[in-house]
Amino acid sequence: MTWRRRPLSGRELGIVFALLVLVAVTTAVNPAFLGAQGLHDLFLNASILTLLAVGQTLLVITRNIDLSVGSTMGLTAFLSGQIYVADHDTPVIAVLVAGIAMGAVCGAVNGALVAAAKVPALVVTLGTLYVFRGLDYGWASLTGTRQVNADQMSGQFLAFGSGSVLGVPRLTLIAIVVLVAVNYVLRTMRSGRELYAIGSNPHAARLAGIPAGKRILAVFVVSGALVGLAGVLHAAYFGTINASVGSGEELAVVAAVVVGGVAIFGGSGTAMGAALGALLLTTITGALPILGVPALWQRAVDGAALLLSISLDRAVMARLASRLRRERNARHG
């Protein structure tokens, strides 16, 4: 079955190998890249993208996608800043809950249009990408606060974003907890297995009695909640927030998911693979300046990785289909 797999698939092992090669080459150019601070920064920067990619994985497995993740993240990050502008002493947990709730609401809007109105996810989330971003800019214009700076936020909130536990960034620990939880659901729980069934064959899943609409709505809400969490953590880590936070992030998220082995056509993939894809893309971004490649090539690398991964998946599926046809013809020949 798709969800019962060894700890790492061939694609995931390939990502680990690529990571090791990239780190080795970059470290040879600049030994500080693999130092304690370098590793700390690498995992810290990968944490937010990992949260976004894990949430996106749930959607892609069901043959859906969310292109509004960057706008939702920007909206929740700006919400975090606005909360502290209104009340500097707001507890961190209250900001986290508010951000997660707003992300879940955005996800519910997308999910309702996809599951209930039967509008393709690509169309829905392309529209809400601009709607949510427009709300973000409109909110900033209405309040007259186009940017929230670190000095306007609680020191406790900023410490939460930059703090560590036993040398491990707190944001990384949060990403790991989320990754383990989602991976457990996908691998062992019935609701997780049903997501693979929906992505593999939606019509057959419905005939089997799987409540596809409810499951799709649920994964949009969960994914939105994780995006909301990522937005709050972004605000806590970077400190300075404006209405453009998260712009273009959807490309990096989809690229991380597909590079990690989650089939863009649904039905297969793991949260672990998506997390490895996020770590690989983050490592590439950090290595580019060290290797003498201008940072402006980052998006080009993300796009190239996405195209390469989709082409590879299609080639593998075509080869598998051809082999199955030959075997079927041999049995009936």
Confidence band for 13, pLDDT divided at 50, 70 and 90: confident
Q: Provide the CATH number for the domain around residue 101.
A: 1.10.3470
Q: What is the mean pLDDT of residues 210-216?
A: 94
Q: Are the beta carbons of 269 and 262 closer than 8 angstroms? A: yes
User: 274-278 long-range contacts, Cβ below 8 Å, gap at least 24?
Assistant: 274/50, 274/53, 274/54, 274/56, 274/57, 275/50, 275/53, 275/54, 275/175, 275/179, 276/12, 276/15, 276/16, 276/19, 277/15, 277/53, 278/46, 278/49, 278/50, 278/52, 278/53
In a domain, 249, yes or no: yes
Q: Are the beta carbons of 281 and 18 closer than 8 angstroms? A: no
Q: Are the beta carbons of 88 and 81 closer than 8 angstroms? A: no
Q: Rounded CA gap, 67 and 48, in Å?
A: 16
Percent with pLDDT over 70 in the chain: 92
Q: What is the mean pLDDT of residues 151-161?
A: 92
In a domain, 4, yes or no: no
Q: What is the mean pLDDT of residues 231-239?
A: 94
Confidence band for 95, pLDDT divided at 50, 70 and 90: very high
Per residue in 163-188, pLDDT (tens digit) is 888 888 999 999 999 999 999 999 99
pLDDT of res. 67: 96
pLDDT of res. 9: 64
Confidence band for 3, pLDDT divided at 50, 70 and 90: very low
Per residue in 116-146, pLDDT (tens digit) is 888 999 999 999 999 999 999 999 888 887 8
The pTM of the whole model exceeds 0.85:
yes
Q: Are the beta carbons of 125 and 70 closer than 8 angstroms? A: no
pLDDT of res. 4: 46
pLDDT of res. 289: 84
Number of domains in the chain: 1
- Residue 315's domain spans which residues? 10-332
pLDDT of res. 285: 86
In a domain, 242, yes or no: yes
In a domain, 5, yes or no: no
pLDDT of res. 316: 65
pLDDT at 8 over 70: no
Q: What is the mean pLDDT of residues 194-198?
A: 95
pLDDT of res. 321: 62
Q: To the nearest 10°, the Cα dihedral for 86, 242, 105, 231?
A: -100
Q: How many CB atoms lie within 10 A of CB 147?
A: 13
Per residue in 35-67, pLDDT (tens digit) is 877 788 888 889 999 999 999 999 999 999 999
pLDDT of res. 165: 87
pLDDT of res. 40: 82
In a domain, 1, yes or no: no
pLDDT of res. 41: 82
pLDDT at 302 over 80: no
Degrees, nearest 5: CA angle 317-258-169? 150
More confident: 267 or 106 = 106
* DSSP H helical ranges for 208-247: 212-238
State the average pLDDT for the chain. Answer: 88
Q: How far is CA 255 from the centre of its chain?
A: 9
Supply 291's token pair: 């290797």
In a domain, 235, yes or no: yes
Least confident of 74-83, 98-107, 160-169: 160-169
Confidence band for 2, pLDDT divided at 50, 70 and 90: very low
In a domain, 42, yes or no: yes
